[in-house]
Chain A
Amino acid sequence: KQEVTQIPAALSVPEGENLVLNCSFTDSAIYNLQWFRQDPGKGLTSLLLIQSSQREQTSGRLNASLDKSSGRSTLYIAASQPGDSATYLCAADNYGQNFVFGPGTRLSVLP
């Protein structure tokens, strides 16, 4: 059964710092891995989707990488801003099964 973990659980950084969020999964037979952002009490916003055949995806200041063989994905946020404060979730998609979510990393970017 797929299990997804995320490190760190919480992170507080000053504005402008570059930061890395980590996601690990136990079953490397994934179809894709998706990163989401969730603001308090709100829905999930898709940030980046990495297909199993890809190594990374970029969108603006965000870059996500995927290493299936080691069961790891990282989300890199460049030049962080207070507006980036949210919880970041990764989800591993084992096709035919479900999206298995990690517990999330709660990010606070201080002005």
Chain B
Amino acid sequence: EAQVTQNPRYLITVTGKKLTVTCSQNMNHEYMSWYRQDPGLGLRQIYYSMNVEVTDKGDVPEGYKVSRKEKRNFPLILESPSPNQTSLYFCASSPRTAMNTEAFFGQGTRLTVV
């Protein structure tokens, strides 16, 4: 089944403790991205990657890191989480070819930083 898988689905952590949220897609998509969703602010892009080893900042990259060492995986790293990073996070992938640009989303990771 074609899907984008995020782990964990739920996470409660303490301020300053490094964490990684994993994202994996099995559709051989070149494009992957991370979003956060907050009440009243909607979905905002954190980082995106057009291909392996190619990443770029979205609208709200501060406090986050990403890496794209292989096509299927795009982990989101919070080196020193803070309470303002409490949010619902989504990973997405897309082929982004001339024939197919549909975006597919993971089920989300609800992160709480205390």
- How distant is the Cα of A101 from the Cα of B43 in the complex, in angstroms? 6
- Which residues of chain B come closer than 8 Å to A36, judged between CB atoms? 105
Q: Which of A32, A43, A95 contacts B108 (CB 8 A)?
A: A43
- Which residues of chain B come closer than 8 Å to A44, judged between CB atoms? 90, 92, 105
- B interface SS class: strand
Q: Which of B12-20, B21-29, B69-77, B95-103 contacts A (4 or more CB under 8 A)?
A: B95-103
- How distant is the Cα of A99 from the Cα of B46 in the complex, in angstroms? 11
Q: Which of A31, A32, A99, A102 contacts B45 (CB 8 A)?
A: A99
Number of A-B contacts (CB under 8 A): 52
Min CB distance A102 to B, Å, is 7
Interface size class of B (residues with CB under 8 A): 20 to 34
Q: Taking A44-B90, A89-B43, A104-B42 as contacts, is the C-beta distance between A99 and B107 under 8 angstroms?
A: no
Q: Does A98 contact B58, Cβ atoms closer than 8 Å? A: yes
- Which residues of chain B come closer than 8 Å to A46, judged between CB atoms? 102-105
Q: Does B43 contact A43, Cβ atoms closer than 8 Å? A: no
Residue of B nearest to A49 (CB): B102
Q: Does A49 contact B101, Cβ atoms closer than 8 Å? A: yes
Q: Does B103 contact A98, Cβ atoms closer than 8 Å? A: no
Residue of A nearest to B59 (CB): A98
A42 at the interface (CB under 8 A from B): yes
Number of interface residues of A (CB under 8 A): 24
- Which residues of chain B come closer than 8 Å to A71, judged between CB atoms? none
Min CB distance B46 to A, Å, is 10
Q: Taking A43-B108, A89-B43 as contacts, is the C-beta distance between A99 and B103 under 8 angstroms?
A: yes
- Which residues of chain B come closer than 8 Å to A31, judged between CB atoms? 101
B contact residues vs A (CB 8 Å cutoff): 33, 35, 42-45, 48, 50, 58-59, 88, 90, 92, 96, 101-108, 110
Q: A34-B102, A49-B101, A101-B42 are in contact. List 8 more A-B contacts (CB 8 A).
A: A34-B103, A41-B108, A41-B110, A43-B90, A46-B103, A99-B103, A100-B45, A101-B35
Leading 8 A-B pairs by shortest Cβ distance: A101-B43, A44-B105, A43-B107, A98-B45, A103-B42, A49-B102, A32-B101, A43-B108
